[in-house]
């Protein structure tokens, strides 16, 4: 497959919108422009695919929720209890 | 009719509880804390430099929520309002404003470079299944990259890509325009992407690499 040589300013408009493209926040026509450009421009295709994976990794680590440390949970509970008692 | 009798978001799971608290049942406030303490703690450790700062942020946020809950107008989900309070608590703690000048991430820095530096194909890590790719080391590297972001970019990325708020919700939480959120999010993602690219340049992923025993 032949690739269109990448020029830093060629496709700049598409480059700026890659996140909106991944978030499905663009209209159909702009999506098609990006897809057409990425098909022929390896630099932008690499950027798009690595950016997409980066976003998916960020989403994934969100599932790794740490529990509240027990000593802090107790301290917080006591603080809130005292607050409720004072204002109640 | 008072706002509390006519909430605009009746489907919010917290509405009934908030109405009761605001009508004098302050003894129910700990239930509101119980519902959100873990979520807020995890937001804190994504935003703050250390665990102590995260704990302080959580406690100060709930103290502020207790103080200002009567001002909650049910114009958004309670969770969104809570994060609005939390982000302000976070910024106030650092004596910084969201609008204060800080390091900007220029888009030019992230533009694909000269042809010689452009890879010939999409790297393997970008196409790998997440369950094979994500391990403890990569998870730590990713968290570190997020922490290296300038704060206003980190806030946007954490709210959008980790806490799951939409662009419009994030804009309301941070009191910024949606276009501003989109610009910051894109640059923040490009920054993290660059850090991951650097990481995989040194620790290449190959499809045959065994999956790690301690997945994140």
Query: In whole angstroms, what is the distance from residue B44 CA to residue A51 CA?
Result: 25
Map tokens 């599932």 to a residue: A63
Structure token pair of residue A43 = 């630099």
Is residue A62 within 8 Å of residue B15, measured between CB atoms? Answer: no
Instruction: Judge whether B183 lies within some domain.
Output: yes
- Final residue of a structural domain among B36, B61, B93: B93
Nearest Cα to B24, choosing from A40, A10, A84? A84
Residues B87 and B114 in one domain: no
ipTM above 0.90, yes or no: no
Distances (CA, A) of B146 to B28, B112, B202: 36, 21, 19
CATH at residue B146: 1.10.10.10
Instruction: Judge whether B54 lies within some domain.
Output: yes
Which pLDDT band holds residue B208 (cuts at 50, 70, 90)? Answer: low
Instruction: Judge whether B70 lies within some domain.
Output: yes
Q: Comparing B94 with A7, which gets the higher pLDDT?
A: B94
Residues B20 and B87 in one domain: yes
Nearest Cα to A19, choosing from A54, A68, A69, A71? A54
* pLDDT tens readout for residues B148-159: 999 999 999 999
Residues B80 and B130 in one domain: no
Q: Which of B55, B130, B197 lies at the smallest CB-CB distance from A72?
A: B55
Which pLDDT band holds residue B209 (cuts at 50, 70, 90)? Answer: low
Residues B22 and B88 in one domain: yes
- Chains A & B: contacts with CB separation below 8 Å: 144
List Cβ neighbours of B167 (8 Å cut-off, separation of 6 or more): A23, A25, B160, B178, B181, B182, B185
Instruction: Count structural domains, chain B.
Output: 2
Instruction: Judge whether B213 lies within some domain.
Output: no
User: How much is the pLDDT for B144?
Assistant: 93
User: How much is the pLDDT for B176?
Assistant: 96
- For residues B39-46, average pLDDT: 94
Which of B22, B27, B41, B185 would you mutate first to test chain A, the one with the most A CBs within 10 A? B41
- Final residue of a structural domain among B26, B59, B93: B93
* pLDDT tens readout for residues B181-190: 999 999 999 9
Cβ separation of A76 and B125 shorter than 8 Å?
A: no
Is residue B153 within 8 Å of residue A80, measured between CB atoms? Answer: no
* pLDDT tens readout for residues A55-78: 999 999 877 788 999 999 999 999
For chain B, the average pLDDT equals 85
Q: Is A74 on the interface with B (CB under 8 A)?
A: no
Which pLDDT band holds residue B5 (cuts at 50, 70, 90)? Answer: very low
Query: In whole angstroms, what is the distance from residue A9 CA to residue A20 CA?
Result: 19
For chain A, the average pLDDT equals 85
The torsion angle over the Cα atoms of residues B4, B10, B12 and B17, rounded to 10 degrees, is 40
Instruction: Judge whether B102 lies within some domain.
Output: no
Which pLDDT band holds residue B212 (cuts at 50, 70, 90)? Answer: very low
Instruction: Judge whether B53 lies within some domain.
Output: yes
Q: Which of B121, B134, B197 lies at the smallest CB-CB distance from A60?
A: B134
- Final residue of a structural domain among B93, B120, B151: B93
List Cβ neighbours of B174 (8 Å cut-off, separation of 6 or more): B84, B87, B98, B155, B156, B159, B181
Query: In whole angstroms, what is the distance from residue B146 CA to residue B160 CA?
Result: 13
For A:28-67, CB contacts with B below 8 A are: 42-47, 49-62, 64-67
Q: Comparing B206 with B171, which gets the higher pLDDT?
A: B171
- For residues B39-43, average pLDDT: 95
Cβ separation of A20 and B182 shorter than 8 Å?
A: yes
User: How much is the pLDDT for B1?
Assistant: 39
Residues B69 and B129 in one domain: no
Set of chain A residues whose Cβ sits within 8 Å of the Cβ of B42 = 65-66
Residues B154 and B179 in one domain: yes
- For residues B95-107, average pLDDT: 62
Distance from CA of B99 to the nearest CA of A (A): 22
pLDDT at residue B119 above 70? yes
Residues B86 and B112 in one domain: no
User: How much is the pLDDT for A64?
Assistant: 76
Set of chain A residues whose Cβ sits within 8 Å of the Cβ of B133 = 53, 57
Is residue B185 within 8 Å of residue B156, measured between CB atoms? Answer: yes
Residues B85 and B30 in one domain: yes
Residues B185 and B121 in one domain: yes
Q: Which of A3-12, A58-67, B136-145 has the lowest mean pLDDT?
A: A3-12
Domain enclosing residue B159, as ranges: 107-202
Instruction: Judge whether B66 lies within some domain.
Output: yes
Side-chain-side CA neighbours of B127 within 13 Å: the count stands at: 9
CATH at residue B67: 1.10.1740.10
Instruction: Judge whether B116 lies within some domain.
Output: yes
Rounded to the nearest 5°, which phi and psi values hold at B212?
-75, 155
Residues B19 and B75 in one domain: yes
Distance from CA of A78 to the nearest CA of B (A): 10
Residues B84 and B113 in one domain: no
Residues B80 and B151 in one domain: no
């Amino acid at each position: 497959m032949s690739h269109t040589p990448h020029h830093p300013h060629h496709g700049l408009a598409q480059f700026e919108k890659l996140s909106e493209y991944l978030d499905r926040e663009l209209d159909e026509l702009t999506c098609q422009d990006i897809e057409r450009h990425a098909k022929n421009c390896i630099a932008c295709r690499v950027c798009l695919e690595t950016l997409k994976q980066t976003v998916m990794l960020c989403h994934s680590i969100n599932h790794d929720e740490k529990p509240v440390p027990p000593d802090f949970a107790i301290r917080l509970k006591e603080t809130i209890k005292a607050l409720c008692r004072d204002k109640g | 009719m008072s706002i509390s009798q006519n909430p605009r978001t009746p489907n919010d799971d917290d509405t009934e509880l908030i109405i009761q608290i605001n009508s004098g049942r302050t003894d129910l406030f700990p239930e509101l804390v119980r519902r959100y303490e873990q979520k807020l703690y995890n937001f804190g450790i994504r935003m703050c430099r250390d665990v102590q700062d995260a704990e302080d942020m959580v406690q100060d946020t709930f103290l502020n929520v207790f103080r200002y809950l009567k001002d909650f107008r049910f114009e958004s989900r309670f969770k969104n309002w809570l994060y609005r309070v939390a982000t302000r608590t976070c910024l106030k703690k650092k004596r910084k404003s969201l609008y204060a000048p800080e390091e900007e991430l220029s888009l030019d820095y992230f533009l694909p470079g000269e042809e010689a530096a452009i890879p010939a194909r999409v790297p393997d890590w970008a196409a790998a299944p997440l369950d094979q790719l994500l391990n403890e080391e990569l998870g730590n590297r990713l968290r570190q990259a997020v922490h290296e972001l300038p704060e206003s970019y980190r806030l946007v990325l954490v709210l959008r890509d980790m806490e799951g708020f939409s662009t419009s919700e994030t804009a309301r939480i941070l009191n910024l325009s949606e276009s501003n959120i989109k610009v910051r999010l894109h640059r923040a993602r490009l920054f993290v992407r660059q850090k991951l690219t650097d990481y995989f340049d040194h620790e290449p992923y190959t499809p045959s690499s065994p999956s790690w025993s301690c997945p994140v």
